[in-house]
A and B are shown apart, each in its own frame.
Chain A
Amino acid sequence: MTVDTSVTLAGVPLKNPLMTASGTSGHGLELSPFFDLSILGAFVTKGVSMAPRAGNPPPRLQETPAGLLNAIGLENPGVAAFVARALPGLATLGIPVVVNCFGEDPEKTVAAVEALSAQAAVTALELNVSCPNVKAGGIAFGTDPAVLRPLVAACRQATRLPLWVKLSPNVTSIVTMADAALQGGADALTCVNTLLGCDIDVRRRRFLPSPGRGGLSGPATLPVALLKVAEVHRAFPQAPIIGVGGIRRGEDVLKYLLAGATAVQIGTAILVEPTAPVRILNEFTELCEGLGISRPADVIGAAHPGQP
């Protein structure tokens, strides 16, 4: 049996549902020495803001059981340097290029969206409203529906590109935030960003990573992120969802699809194993074949009661 892995995500055709997750695959072709990036359904960049950001002081990382806390602080070269140095390389891949972007306030967010929308090589934008590391922005947008909805609406006005909104799991109700993003005009929802957490160095009596907290990613987060995808899908069955959190095997990809995601993002697994997407795609295809799923797009949301 041949498996047709293609999916269509909010109007964007993808040859398979696998993408990189923002933050774990660089701004450009940093991973290309390790595998052919064009095998991906889409490439999602590390977050970009209008002005360059130096990021947080070290230590930015702390390993946890089956997980990783990070507080990179949204280090990035700024839109102009990204467009000049990284984007031309990405444009040669021949796959959709999704730029993750953010701003420290609504005006800067819209400015980044506008600047990136002017680039022909950009297929879609993923708005980061949930990065938990930056005191000035991020968390405020993604945790208050009264802030999120007008922000997304302003970005919607500023671009004709597909606009994805990456939601934070660090809220009482992700459904409320998904609703705000959809009402603001989001075309798709990325579920979810990292979970807030911390560790403690008992000898120095200091919180880790350096800001005192960080975003948890890795296999430990999969059950949480999977439930968030399921909750958003249940509330908004028509909304395209990109599932992200802890994927490291082909079976995990299928779980996210069954929960309601149209596509998925591979993050921390790439840090552990730079060629992970190649293996995961093979495993996913073989698993679908073994389970008699000739078209994975047909089983999106199929784990929900009442689904075929």
Chain B
Amino acid sequence: METEKSYELCRVRERRVLSPVLISLTVETTAPVAAPGQFAMLRGPWGDAPLLPRAISYHDAGPGWARFLFRTGGPGTDRLGRLVEGDPVAVAGPLGNGFPVVQEPWLVAGGIGLPPLAFYRRRFGGRLFWGVPTREATAGLAEEGWALASDDGTLGVRGTAVDLVAAALQKVEAPLSPTVLSCGPYPMMAALARLCAAHEIPCFVSLEGKMACGVGVCCGCAHPAKAGGYVHVCEEGPVFSAHEVVL
């Protein structure tokens, strides 16, 4: 599902502050419409520091626009989070491979890993499992029909998204046909990959590598491959079959 890459100076069409740390930016773009799981490199007009653009997953996209949902807290995301309507923002995208389109997707998100999977569900459907630390962390993003878990039990079941999937797998009668698509903290995705392997169901994970270019020229985002050597998150990923990569 790879689409043509582009680089352009976009305008912020809408900025929504969802919580003190979650910002949604919608930008106007002439780039091809992104697929769920793809990402863009975003940078505002803030001089030489921080130097690099930031890799952010698409939360939604349509003809002429794209939406990004991200957590602030770093030098780059803080500045992106302060952009307002009408501000210029340089966008390289859509980049990367995106999630595979599968028959029975189970979308498993941990924390801020939600955006690409919420995007996937909007476009292709599927069961969504979302684990958050606490109720406030959802920032009103949870939708009807999602399975929810929180570390402190303030929302949904007490536990993680992996616990939700384990419980759901108990209720599914063999032969199992779901394909798990996941984005979240590495320990969570590692646990999920083990669970999927035990049930012999395919599992795909979206990785987050430190990137400079995002477009396959610097080789900075190398991630260890299970077969030895490295994969490159930006070009070969960010979505990999869980058995390809070390988690």
Contact = CB atoms under 8 A, between A and B. Distances in A.
A33 B4 contact: yes
B230 A30 contact: no
Contact of B217 (A63, A67, A248, A270): A270
A262 interface: no
A73 B193 CA distance: 30
Given A30-B215, A72-B220, A275-B7, 12 more contacts: A23-B218, A24-B218, A26-B217, A33-B215, A34-B5, A61-B218, A61-B220, A61-B221, A75-B222, A248-B48, A271-B213, A273-B90
Q: Which are the 7 A-B pairs with shortest beta-carbon distances?
A: A66-B48, A26-B217, A61-B220, A271-B213, A33-B5, A271-B212, A54-B229
B202 to A, nearest CB: 25
A72 B218 contact: yes
A26 B7 contact: no
B67 interface: no
Interface of A: 23-26, 30-31, 33-34, 46, 54-68, 70, 72, 75, 218-220, 248, 268, 270-275
B220 A34 contact: no
15 contacts: A31-B215, A33-B5, A34-B7, A54-B229, A54-B230, A57-B230, A60-B221, A61-B221, A72-B222, A219-B48, A268-B212, A271-B212, A272-B51, A273-B7, A274-B213
A58 B224 contact: yes
**Chain A contact surface mostly:** loop
Given A31-B215, A55-B230, A58-B210, A272 B224 contact: no
A43 B229 CA distance: 28
Given A23-B218, A275-B7, A60 B210 contact: yes
Given A58-B223, A70-B220, A274 B212 contact: no
B49 A66 contact: yes
B209 interface: yes
A59 B208 CA distance: 12
Contacts of B211: 61
Interface of B: 4-7, 43, 48-53, 90, 92, 209-213, 215-224, 228-230
B224 A274 contact: no
A30 B216 contact: yes
A75 B51 CA distance: 23
Contacts of A272: 43, 51-53
B50 A271 contact: no
Contacts of B212: 61, 68, 70, 268, 271
Contact of A268 (B4, B51, B215, B230): B51
A86 B213 CA distance: 19
Contacts of B5: 33-34
B43 A33 contact: no
Contacts, number: 103
Nearest to A59: B210
A81 B6 CA distance: 27
A67 B51 contact: yes
A251 to B, nearest CB: 14
A253 B71 CA distance: 37
A283 to B, nearest CB: 15
Of the listed residues B92, B210, B218, the one surrounded by the most CB atoms of chain A closer than 10 A to its CB is B218
A31 B212 CA distance: 14
A219 B50 CA distance: 11
A280 B223 CA distance: 33
Given A33-B6, A272-B43, A63 B51 contact: yes
Contacts of A30: 215-217
Contact of A24 (B52, B213, B228): B213
Contact of A34 (B6, B221, B228): B6
A205 B156 CA distance: 37
B170 to A, nearest CB: 36
A2 B45 CA distance: 31
B218 A274 contact: no
Nearest to B92: A274
Contact of A271 (B48, B49, B217): B217
A63 B218 contact: no
A274 B216 CA distance: 11
Contacts of B230: 54-55, 57-58, 75
A58 B221 CA distance: 7
Contacts of A54: 228-230
A26 B7 CA distance: 17
Nearest to B212: A271
Nearest to A218: B51
Contact of A58 (B6, B53, B90, B222): B222
A67 B212 CA distance: 11
B229 to A, nearest CB: 5
Given A34-B6, A58-B223, A75-B222, A63 B216 contact: no
Nearest to A70: B220
